[in-house]
Amino acid sequence: MKKFFLSAHVILIATVASSHGAMVSIPNLSGLGAPDETLNALNSFLPTFNARAVNGVTGVDLKDATFALSVDFNDPAGASDQNHVLWETGGGTIGLSLVYVPSSTTLSLRQASNAGNTVLQVDSILSGAQKAGGDIELVWTMSINGGLSGQPQIELFLDGISVGTATDPGALGDWSGANGAGFGGNASGGIAAAGGNTNLGNTTNFADGTINLTTGLQFWADTQAVFVPEPSTGLLGLAGLALFGIRRR
């Protein structure tokens, strides 16, 4: 896959040009342009992403992916210790999932591959301030070869800040098996990932907050988003002075 970065000075290009096949540095989601797919209704019976074609991109589960979703989590959180499914596709052999456990206020992003024996996992515990602050923008990415030594890597962002990455030499660059997908729930019974080619257990439909269905679940195929801070006014001013000085020479 061809990779390139967009600097802050040319970030607007990404809003009008396709980001397919790219690692794109953005200050916010608008830098990715229009999603390839948006779902505005909860659905536990979605088709699998395995071998799917989305907006002209074929075999999306073998390519990079960026997903986004905004959620207003309950404050205080409920006592449930179940894995509340926000989104998932595939299963314990090959799959990708994002779940929330209210009792520990923990978000978990997981990818299963290598016959279900390798699991990548990123966890993030929500603070009281985060739960009390309204919608949290969740963005998760799957990179086929963007990790250490070209290994697959997953990453989770909360409100544009990375809360962790995971990579493993045993991981494979495929993020969906044939089991169906679910937005806000899990109908297939198979969900990534518990390791040892087993499905994540103790799952239920998401019920500890409100999913923003106006913005919905957004998917950018063959795209890996990386958030970078917007340059401050002072830094832009210094850059402008430097450019002015170069021109004068």
Asked if 152 and 172 touch (Cβ cutoff 8 Å), the reply is yes
Specify the CATH number of the domain 33-248.
Answer: 2.60.120.200
Residue with tokens 């071998």: 51
E strands of 54-167, at which residues? 65-73, 83-90, 95-101, 106-113, 118-125, 136-143, 153-158, 161-167
Return all residues near 41 (Cβ < 8 A) that are at least 6 apart: 183, 213, 216
Instruction: Please tell me the predicted confidence (pLDDT) of residue 215.
Output: 98
Instruction: Please tell me the predicted confidence (pLDDT) of residue 195.
Output: 83
In whole angstroms, how far apart are CA 152 and each of 14, 50, 98, 162?
24, 17, 17, 17
Q: What is the distance between the alpha carbons of residues 222 and 213, in angstroms, rounded to a whole number?
A: 24
pLDDT tens digits for the chain (249 residues)? 433 333 332 222 233 345 677 678 889 999 999 999 999 999 999 999 999 999 999 999 999 999 999 999 999 999 999 999 999 999 999 999 999 999 999 999 999 999 999 999 999 999 999 999 999 999 999 999 999 889 999 999 999 999 999 999 999 999 999 999 999 998 666 787 778 888 899 999 999 999 999 999 999 999 999 998 766 544 444 444 333 332 222
Q: What is the distance between the alpha carbons of residues 196 and 178, in angstroms, rounded to a whole number?
A: 18
